[in-house]
């Protein structure tokens, strides 16, 4: 019955201290001893809940799993070594040869590449559609569809998908709805409460919040799915280290404070960017003219700290902005206390073919920023001076002229 900010600090089964410690200790051990042979046998058979081996379970890791399960209103959680370990484990647990996946088209680059390459060789088919349109999801579903996979808000376009609507479609066709909740975090959005079956996270991002550790999480809404996924995770070995878990658990404690500050900054920056002459468009769910603004108000508790925007001059304009920032850090990832800027077409989504990027709305002019917790005025001033580095002659030029310049540069090289 706790509120979400309290859950971030106290959520999950209370840790039973041994010496009065306030912080959960790091149980940095690979294996656990048994008091007797009979207890060892009972633990291996599952009759006893004691620990055996850290790949299979560890008190520090379990503390993180229970905490995030409470925040997501889930049944059980499974911590993984990385966000991609969480994604691929869900796929490998629930798909078989001949199965079909429907996914958000503007999904995180590697999440799209894995089904299109590795899983394709295993006889698993995938289709990527604009999941912000429920009709496209419905039309893409086949009798062999096993998973509908949403990323909402989507990376990097900031499109939103209707979780409850997608859940209705998935369940009507006997499929599982999985949602990547990385961009929102459980502080702003809890897909399991809206009908999703599985939630995945890259804990590297907002949940940890300090750009210093990798991690992922799978949280299921019921026991059946947990018992399908957990053995696969244990066997493939994509589980989390206890020191990772301790660092991320420390990050969870300040998640509410960090998210509230970053989204306060983000809304102000989005309004500023809308009026800047070197910005062609802004995609931020907190803006009333965002096409999914009302959906965001319905299924989220806030609009988050991620902004996508287009710049004058297309690809060249984007390069100039990123090479001109002084306070924003030019780096991939997101969700840290520091503000980051990146160019998806040449970085996070470079592995996705250009025609697929364009189809998903990942344009060459698109710049993505993760707004941090600095003072707004400093962030605004930095973006302003960086955008003003775009030459006036570059703005408004045709794509054909830009392509010709790019060709001439390649010839010179």
Which of the residues are catalytic? 55, 108, 180, 205
Residue 138 CA neighbour count, 13 Å, CB half: 8
How far is residue 92's CA from residue 108's CA, in Å, rounded to a whole number?
Answer: 18
DSSP-based three-state secondary structure for 255: helix
- Closest among 61, 282, 264, 166 to 51, alpha carbons compared: 61
E strand spans, 98-197: 100-104, 125-129, 145-151, 176-180
Helix intervals (H) in 212-330 = 223-236, 242-253, 255-274, 293-299, 314-324
Hunting for tokens 């969700």 — which residue is that?
A: 335
Contacts of 79 (CB under 8 A, 6+ apart): 61, 64, 65, 203, 215, 216, 217, 239, 240, 244, 245
Helix (H) or strand (E) holding 134: helix 134-140
Q: How far does Cα 19 stand from its chain's mean position?
A: 37
Hunting for tokens 């503000």 — which residue is that?
A: 339
Q: How far is CA 352 from CA 175, 306, 359, in A?
A: 26, 21, 11
- Phi, psi (degrees; rounded to nearest 5) at 305: -115, 15
How far is residue 160's CA from residue 316's CA, in Å, rounded to a whole number?
Answer: 28
Helix intervals (H) in 304-352 = 314-324
- Taking residue 294's Cβ as centre, other Cβ atoms within 10 Å add up to 12
Residues pairing with 199 in the sheet: 179, 219
- Closest among 346, 348, 379 to 365, alpha carbons compared: 346
* DSSP category for residue 80: E
Q: How far does Cα 272 stand from its chain's mean position?
A: 26
- Taking residue 327's Cβ as centre, other Cβ atoms within 10 Å add up to 18
């Amino acid at each position: 019955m706790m509120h979400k900010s309290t859950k971030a600090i106290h959520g999950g089964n209370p840790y039973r201290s041994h010496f009065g410690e306030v912080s959960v200790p790091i149980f940095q051990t690979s294996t656990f001893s048994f008091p007797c042979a009979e207890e060892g046998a009972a633990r291996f058979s599952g009759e006893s809940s004691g620990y055996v081996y850290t790949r299979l379970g560890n008190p520090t890791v379990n503390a993180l799993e229970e905490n995030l399960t409470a925040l997501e209103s889930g049944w059980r959680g499974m911590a993984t070594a990385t966000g991609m370990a969480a994604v691929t484990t869900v796929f490998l647990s629930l798909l078989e040869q001949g199965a079909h996946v429907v996914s958000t088209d503007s999904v995180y680059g590697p999440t799209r590449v894995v089904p299109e390459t590795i899983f394709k060789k295993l006889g698993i088919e995938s289709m990527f559609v604009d999941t912000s349109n429920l009709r496209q999801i419905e039309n893409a579903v086949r009798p062999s569809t096993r998973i509908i996979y949403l990323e909402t808000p989507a990376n990097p376009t900031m499109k939103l998908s209707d979780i409850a609507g997608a859940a209705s479609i998935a369940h009507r066709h006997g499929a599982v709805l999985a949602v990547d909740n990385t961009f929102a975090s459980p502080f702003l959005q809890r897909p399991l409460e809206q009908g999703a079956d599985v939630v995945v996270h890259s804990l590297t991002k907002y949940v940890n919040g300090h750009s210093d550790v990798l991690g992922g999480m799978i949280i299921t809404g019921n026991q059946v799915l947990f018992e399908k996924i957990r053995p696969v995770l244990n066997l493939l070995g994509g589980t989390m280290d206890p020191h990772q878990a301790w660092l991320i658990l420390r990050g969870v404690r300040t998640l509410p404070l960090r998210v509230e500050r970053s989204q306060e900054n983000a809304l102000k920056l989005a309004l500023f960017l809308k009026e800047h002459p070197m910005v062609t468009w802004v995609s931020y769910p907190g803006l009333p003219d965002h096409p999914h603004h009302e959906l965001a108000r319905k299924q989220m508790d806030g609009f988050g700290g991620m902004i996508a925007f287009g710049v004058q001059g297309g690809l060249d304009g984007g390069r100039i902005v990123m090479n001109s920032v002084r306070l924003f850090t030019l780096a991939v990832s997101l969700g840290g206390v520091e503000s980051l800027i990146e160019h998806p077409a040449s970085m996070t989504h470079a592995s996705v073919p250009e025609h697929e990027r364009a189809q998903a709305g990942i344009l060459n002019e698109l710049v993505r920023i993760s707004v941090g917790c600095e003072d707004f005025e400093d962030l605004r001033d930095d973006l302003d001076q960086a955008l003003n580095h775009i030459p006036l002659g570059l703005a408004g030029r045709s794509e054909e002229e830009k392509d010709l310049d790019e060709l001439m540069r390649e010839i010179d090289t």
